[in-house]
A = this chain, B = another copy of it.
Amino acid sequence: MDTAKEPRIKLGMVGGGRDAFIGAVHRIAARMDDHYQLVAGAFSSTEEKSLASAKDLGIAEDRAYGDYTEMAKREARIKNGIEAVAIVTPNHMHYPVAREFLKRGIHVICDKPLTSTMADAKRLAKSAESSGALFALTHNYTGYPMVRQARDMIRSGSLGKIRVIQVEYAQDWLSTKLEETGQKQAGWRTDPERSGAGGSIGDIGTHALNLATFVTGHKPESLCADLDSFVDGRQLDDNAHILLRYNDGVKGMLWSSQVAPGNENALRLRVYGTDGGLEWAQEDPNYLWHTPLGEPKRLLTRNGSGANDAATSVSRIPPGHPEGYLEGFANIYTDVAQAIIARRSDDKAKGEYLFPTIHDGLAGMAFVNAAVNSSKRGGAWVKLEF
């Protein structure tokens, strides 16, 4: 993963100040393969706090901003201004922030879900399309090597025709009313104003669906959802049971929960086709079960015997030395870096990007909307539209 170096990409960040969780993750991910250099940020909504964070991070004082619009304007103008920005704010701020950078041709790497409303999502899609800049959405689980391997195996026909997709993402951290304790993460994630209409389905269900579609290539066409807010007084769902019908007659189930004690980040995908199956679990990401029909199960390992190019090309170390969440996240950053570097010499450079894009974001919003509508209508079947 040390590759002949282009000059590092100058990166800015919006959000991610002290106490934020995901900002630090983005920073490590950007640093991992040494393609980026963090040089500017509007880390918080006041200049003072933003400056404190900048200082922590070794960023020059004059590149710390209290206002993201000002940051976009100035960075677009100055010499050696940022080429890309990471947006790690709560969901409702994704659109207004991204717009400012996109319209100035600055590439955007945005946390998921895309926005808090479908209306914003569509506006953002327009911004992204009309911009010359790239837009990447950090559905980071698609960066895991064995997820890449699974996708490649299905594309090359290892499973035959797909029949069934089982995907789930279970957590337990919202089993009690944590949002009342002042816990910041719990606060905004259970607040419709900042998160949007989806609770668990927006926060983690979209990851699950994105993983299923990334790996299998099948698109959900309709769903039937039973959403619950098991914790008294919670406004957004904390548990979702969903049946899915994908194109080509593929059927699926999806479970997302934040009230399942004993589950930390239990994202798990199982795919079954006419010729075999695949099983992968995020908490044990260096392994992929392949179950060819009528043969013994095989445990494929990252970079080990049976690994394919799709996996080894995004692995850093030998098999048996585990890579984890941060490495998978970094793979998204590195994919984006390669696309950005290609744009340097050819501003129309295109490719089939493996990193998630605006399209994945819209699909996620359509999923959340459909699920909420289905549940409101008593669990009726609803089409996914965007």
Contacts and interface: CB of A to CB of B under 8 A. Distances in A.
Interface of A: 1-5, 7-8, 21, 24-25, 27-28, 31-34, 55-58, 163-164, 166, 171-172, 175-176, 224, 226, 228, 230, 239, 241, 243, 245, 249, 251-253, 255, 257, 259-266, 270, 272-277, 279, 282-286, 289-301, 304-306, 316-327, 378-379, 381
Contacts of A285: 322
A249 B261 CA distance: 18
Contacts of A324: 286, 321-324, 327
Given A4-B55, A55-B5, A226-B243, A255 B253 contact: yes
Contacts of A264: 301, 304, 318-321
Contacts of A275: 261
8 contacts: A2-B56, A21-B318, A163-B230, A261-B276, A262-B279, A264-B304, A296-B298, A322-B325
A2 B24 contact: yes
A299 B301 contact: no
Given A164-B257, A295-B306, 17 more contacts: A2-B57, A21-B317, A25-B317, A34-B58, A163-B239, A172-B291, A224-B224, A226-B251, A261-B277, A263-B291, A284-B322, A296-B306, A298-B298, A317-B325, A323-B324, A324-B327, A378-B381
A198 to B, nearest CB: 17
Contacts of A279: 262
Q: How many copies of this protein are present in the complex?
A: 4
A265 B263 CA distance: 24
Task: Tell me which of A55, A249, A381 has the highest count of chain B C-beta atoms within 10 A of its own C-beta.
Answer: A381
B296 A304 contact: yes
Contacts of A4: 55-56
B251 A261 contact: no
A273 B172 CA distance: 11
Contacts of A55: 4-5
Contacts of A56: 2-5
A262 B289 contact: yes
B296 A276 contact: no
A301 B171 CA distance: 14
A382 to B, nearest CB: 11
A381 B301 CA distance: 39
B226 A245 contact: yes
B1 A24 contact: yes
A243 B245 contact: no
A32 B34 contact: no
Contact of A297 (B7, B241, B299): B299
Contacts of A292: 261
Contacts of A176: 293
Nearest to A58: B5
A239 B2 contact: no
Contacts of A243: 224, 226, 241, 243, 379
Contacts of A317: 21, 25, 325-326
Nearest to A5: B58
B8 A255 contact: no
A378 B274 CA distance: 24
A111 to B, nearest CB: 14
8 tightest A-B CB contacts, nearest first: A262-B291, A264-B320, A265-B320, A296-B306, A322-B324, A324-B324, A321-B325, A296-B298
Contacts of A274: 175
Nearest to A168: B166
Contact of A318 (B226, B265, B290): B265
Nearest to A262: B291
A141 to B, nearest CB: 10
